[in-house]
Amino acid sequence: MTDPVDPLPLLQQARLRMTQQALADRLQTNKKTIYRWEHGLSRCPPLVVPALQEILRMNRPSSPPDTSSGFTFADLFAGIGGIRLGFERAGGRCVFTSEWNEWSKKTYIENFGDDHPFEGDITKVDAADVPDHDVLLGGFPCQPFSIAGVSKKNALGRPHGFECTTQGTLFFDIERIIAAKRPKAFLLENVKNLVSHDRGNTFRVIREVLEGLGYTLHWKVIDGKHYVPQHRERILIVGFREDTDFTWDDLQLPAEGPDIASILHPEDGSETAERHYTSGPLAEISPRYTLTKNLWDYLRAYAAKHKAAGNGFGYGLVRPGTDRHTRTLSARYYKDGSEILIHRGRGKRPRRLTPRECARLMGFPNDFRIIVSDTQAYRQFGNSVVVDVMEAVAKIMAPRVLELKTRETDGVMQPRLKAAA
């Protein structure tokens, strides 16, 4: 006779993928009961085991393609997996993930599964516990270095950059893991302003740290508009432990990317309606995304006020069929949507993008599952990366990584001769 299955671990796995309300709906109970089971305030009954097993089976994404002949990577500050998607498309396989935000973890696990170590707070992870990997990926928090983030912190009298102890110092967790695991390569992503922050001192420290670990650095600011209809400039820092022939010249950027119409809901019945984003036989966009009269009046008055003062603060109105690109999507988009408003015709109030349109604007595929609220979805996509940019960079890194693997196997690894960008 087999031992009964403990339902609590199954419940905990399900909660990584689902909100309390979603899980309560599936188990035909309520949020309060789920909370009590989770926290040991009442016993999770064995009778829910079959339902939990079915939930985990149905929600587990299909296995990624076999990449045993490719390379492995660790995904730090993973967010919802934008960098991971790009490197998987280049033949990589993820062996370790770290992301502290609970909502982002739910989206990540829903889309990628949890078949490898997944840690939350990277500052509490012993580097020795990180599996060996060929490439380290890290989109470390950009708020301490971004123009908007620095302006806000200055206004509030708060430290920014490396002086921001909650986020700015997380770069040094990347340093200690690279030092301990010695991956063959790494890719770090951040805002363009990283280069100029603190009059260049922040980037100087980053360079000195990484080069001090024995890596050759290559960095480049890339605008996502080459791949998606969004002006989004980000710095990518690539490092190799050994000498390679890596060069940014191999990155062939498309001369002109798609226009804004390519990511919008067509509202003509050519796509299936998706939960509350669109509805009806034509999959028309929900009225909830149209700005209220009060908000639209406020944004216009705010823009007029700043225009009169001689600065450029204001909303960003995009006209499909005329404008090709949007402004940069940010994590604050959920507040009023002012940076990207879609023109709906003369005399009509504009609308926000739906979360699905935000996903497309960042290069995520249409089958990427969005399981969180609109507020959380806007934050997640605003904090993510342009997947197509990550894929393009991964594809010029991959041959060099595989070459280093071959050289290591054959015992012909050569010492790095110089550290130069």
Which overall architecture, per CATH, does domain 71-254+386-410 show?
3-Layer(aba) Sandwich (3.40)
Report d(CA 87, CA 78) in Å as an integer.
12
Confidence band of 149 (pLDDT split at 50, 70, 90): very low
DSSP per residue, 19-45: -HHHHHHHTTS-HHHHHHHHTTSSPPP
Check residue 414 and give its pLDDT.
54
The mean pLDDT of 332-340, rounded to a whole number, is: 95
DSSP per residue, 277-294: TEETTTTEEPGGGBPPHH
**Exposed e or buried b for every residue in 325-355, given b needs 16+ CB within 10 A?**
bbebbbbebbebbbbbbbbeeeeeebbbbbb
Question: Which range, of 2-6, 18-22, 78-82, 299-303, averages the lowest pLDDT?
Answer: 18-22
The pair of structure tokens assigned to 69 is 């002949």
Check residue 254 and give its pLDDT.
92
Task: Out of 44, 94, 142, 358, pick the active-site residue.
Answer: 142
Confidence band of 18 (pLDDT split at 50, 70, 90): low
Q: Which has more confidence, 132 or 58?
A: 132
Domain(s) labelled CATH 3.40.50.150 in the chain stretch across: 71-254+386-410
Check residue 40 and give its pLDDT.
85
Check residue 256 and give its pLDDT.
86
The mean pLDDT of 401-415, rounded to a whole number, is: 80
The pair of structure tokens assigned to 407 is 């050289």
- Cβ contacts of 11 within 8 Å, gap of 6 or more: 23, 34, 37, 38, 44, 48, 52
Q: Quick one: which of 224, 222, 254, 192 has its CA closest to 360?
A: 224
Domain(s) labelled CATH 3.90.120.10 in the chain stretch across: 260-382
Confidence band of 409 (pLDDT split at 50, 70, 90): confident
- Cβ contacts of 100 within 8 Å, gap of 6 or more: 120, 121, 122
Q: What is the mean pLDDT of the chain?
A: 86
Question: Which range, of 114-123, 227-236, 330-339, 346-355, averages the lowest pLDDT?
Answer: 114-123
Report d(CA 253, CA 326) in Å as an integer.
19
Is 94 catalytic? The answer is no
Confidence band of 53 (pLDDT split at 50, 70, 90): confident
Check residue 420 and give its pLDDT.
38
To the nearest 10 degrees (0 to 180), the angle between helices 374-382 and 102-112 is 80
Q: pLDDT for 298-327, tens place per residue?
A: 999 999 988 887 776 789 999 998 999 999
Check residue 165 and give its pLDDT.
39
Check residue 19 and give its pLDDT.
67
The strand pairing partners of 233, in sequence order, are 223
Rg (CA), the chain: 23
- Cβ contacts of 214 within 8 Å, gap of 6 or more: 241, 416, 419
Contact between 177 and 124 (Cβ < 8 Å):
no
Amino acid occupying residue 284: E
The mean pLDDT of 339-362, rounded to a whole number, is: 97
Confidence band of 142 (pLDDT split at 50, 70, 90): low
Check residue 115 and give its pLDDT.
84
* Homologous superfamily of the 260-382 domain (CATH): DNA Methylase, subunit A, domain 2 (3.90.120.10)
Residue 63 burial (CB count, 10 A): 8
Check residue 160 and give its pLDDT.
35
Can you count the helices (H) and strands (E) in the chain? 14, 11
Q: Which has more confidence, 165 or 60?
A: 60
Answer yes or no: is pLDDT of 224 > 50: yes
Check residue 281 and give its pLDDT.
96
Report d(CA 289, CA 139) in Å as an integer.
30
The whole model's pTM is what?
0.78
Question: Which range, of 15-29, 86-100, 291-305, averages the lowest pLDDT?
Answer: 15-29
The strand pairing partners of 238, in sequence order, are 187, 218
The mean pLDDT of 251-271, rounded to a whole number, is: 94
Report d(CA 392, CA 63) in Å as an integer.
23
Contact between 314 and 303 (Cβ < 8 Å):
yes
Answer yes or no: is pLDDT of 415 > 70: no
The pair of structure tokens assigned to 18 is 């689902």
Check residue 166 and give its pLDDT.
37
DSSP per residue, 63-115: PPPP-TTSEEEEEES-TTSHHHHHHHHTTEEEEEEE---HHHHHHHHHHH---
Check residue 60 and give its pLDDT.
52
Answer yes or no: is pLDDT of 155 > 50: no
Answer yes or no: is pLDDT of 174 > 80: yes
Check residue 412 and give its pLDDT.
62
Which overall architecture, per CATH, does domain 7-59 show?
Orthogonal Bundle (1.10)
Check residue 59 and give its pLDDT.
53
Strands, E, within 182-325: which ranges?
185-191, 216-223, 233-240, 278-279, 284-285, 317-318
